[in-house]
Amino acid sequence: MSAIQIKQRPFITRPELFQDIPAFIAEILARRGVASTQELELKLKHLLAPSLKGLNEAIQLMDAAIDQQHKIVIVGDYDADGATSTALMILALRKMGAQVEYLVPDRFKYGYGLTPAIADLAFTSFTPDLLITVDNGISSHDGVKQAQDHGMQVIITDHHLTTKPTPSAQAVVNPNQLGCDFPSKALAGVGVAFYVLANLSTYRKKLHKSSALMSQYLDLVALGTYADVASLDYNNRILVDVGLKRIQQHLCRPGISALLEIAGREAASLKAQDLGFVLGPRINAAGRMETMDIGIECLLAQDFASAYPLAEQLNQLNVERRQVETTMKQEALIALDQIQLDDTVLPAALIMFEPHWHQGVIGIVAGRLKEQFHRPSIVFAADEDGIHIKGSARSIEGIHIRDAIECVAEQNPHLVSHFGGHAAAAGLTIQKVHFEEFKQAFEALMAAQDEGLFTATLWTDGELAAENIQVETVDLLQQISPWGQKFPAPIFEGNFQILDFRWLKEVHLKLRVALDNGQVVDAIAFNAADKYQFNEMNHQIRLVYELDKNEFRGNVSVQLRILHLEQH
């Protein structure tokens, strides 16, 4: 484990802006940059106006393709954002009367995005007139040209970052493309697809043509947005919250209902976090372990009976994914142990490769290493061609991983074949013979960064007054949700007196602690035996915690879910 420093989140806006709400809630909102109570009103009417560059061109092309019954093919991506985007396009366009099919590259054969090989595959499989990408394509210059050479028109819808000019497609819709003044840069791929389809539908409705009621698909938008760890700015919080409420009310795709049933989760009590930790991994497992078609077909299924077997398949793939991931992580930790890793000699980046590692799981393992050691981590697996290896990178706050890879590539053009991604996550391909050289170059670049970045910071909302440690506070905080990326769930810190403790299954630590008003509450630290040095003789403890509810035999009580503990 890396060292941790505990700091309070700074105020971004002023707490006194908020009247008529408890002061501690006003502070939580101010620490997250909320500027008015209107930002707590998560209604579709408050969505940003559709000022996306390229939107009108895209709509005109799609409208004409529907009217002329041209063949359309959607080229998706093999993660949950790509799967939901693809399903959304298929459902909405078919509702509007389009002839539309989809194609998702097999990550093990084709890699990511609209490559020339995918353009060829689209042509031989469907001979489409119009090709539309979702959640990819912003860097696919060669693939776009190949598709156009086959006689297709191309629309790119994407959200990934790029520093280069866009491909010469007939239309490009991406809030992160150069020259796009759409105020939210945080839309996920499915959010971009939603904006395109919603505006296409409105356009067609005005002309008295077949359209689609787009709000019925917001369950897909919520799932893809949250599972892709998109920043929850006001616009995304509206999309996630409205979609989540549809799922809670059972107004969702049968495939989502089937996945929840298999996961043993009640739709009515679903939280936004469950989109990322319950549904997302099961959809992602298809693209990681086999083919994303299973995930998309599950989301497209018209009824529960046809969705359920597909959901079972996804669940089984997720079980396999977890087993593979556990094995790989253990191997990675053993390899790190062999180079005598400890906090004093931890390299500035963790870069690992084993020929037998599974390409579909390297991103998750990189994420686990990054969390455990608080270092940018890149994990590689062998590519099918035997020459290249594919890497998945995850980064810490303050280090933009895509830009760092680009920096290495610019200084050593021979080292990186291709790359793409975001600040926190990226993918890249290098030649196997260059692994050691790439590792040294990347480590050297990271070693030159500010040392302070490599100490993990646990940001809290400060101390919570004893009278607010109540079940009612948990409900109050739930009303402000969804919490997530860049809009984190509130966590608090405080010093407590331990009245009692016990170990559950020898790994989880259950405490009873006294508050300074005499109230006694339960606190639980999961997997504490692996993480903390607990001194049972010391009755004082400093905790960083989330407020939670404990429901036991019909009784509901407040409980602290411990995220970090210290005793001095």
State how far the Cα of 213 lies from the Cα of 233, in Å rounded to an integer: 24
| 431 burial via Cβ count (<10 Å: 0-12, 13-18, 19+) | middle
**Per residue of the chain (568 residues), what is the pLDDT tens digit?**
557 899 999 999 999 988 889 999 999 999 999 999 899 999 999 999 999 999 999 999 999 999 999 999 999 998 999 999 999 999 999 999 999 999 998 888 887 889 999 999 999 999 999 999 999 999 999 999 999 999 999 999 999 988 789 999 999 999 999 999 999 999 999 999 999 999 999 999 999 999 999 999 999 999 999 999 999 999 999 999 999 999 999 999 999 999 999 999 999 999 999 999 999 999 999 999 988 999 999 999 999 999 999 999 999 999 999 999 999 999 999 988 776 555 557 889 999 999 999 999 999 999 999 998 999 999 999 998 899 999 999 999 999 999 999 999 999 999 999 888 888 899 999 999 999 999 999 999 999 999 999 999 999 999 999 999 999 999 999 999 999 999 999 999 999 999 999 999 999 999 999 999 999 999 999 999 888 888 888 899 999 999 999 988 889 999 999 999 999 7
Q: Are 210 and 266 in contact (CB under 8 A)?
A: no
Instruction: Walk across the sheet containing 350-353 and list its strands.
Output: 350-353, 377-382, 388-394, 425-431, 418-421
3-class DSSP state for residue 335?
A: helix
Q: Between vectors from CA 75 to CA 71 and to CA 81, what angle results, nearest 5°?
A: 135
70 backbone dihedrals φ, ψ, rounded to 5°: -70, 155
Partner residues linked to 457 by β-bridges: 5
Residue type, 198: A
Kindly state the DSSP code that residue 451 receives in the 8-state scheme: G
State how far the Cα of 373 lies from the Cα of 221, in Å rounded to an integer: 33
DSSP tally for the chain: helices H, then strands E: 18, 17
pTM: 0.93
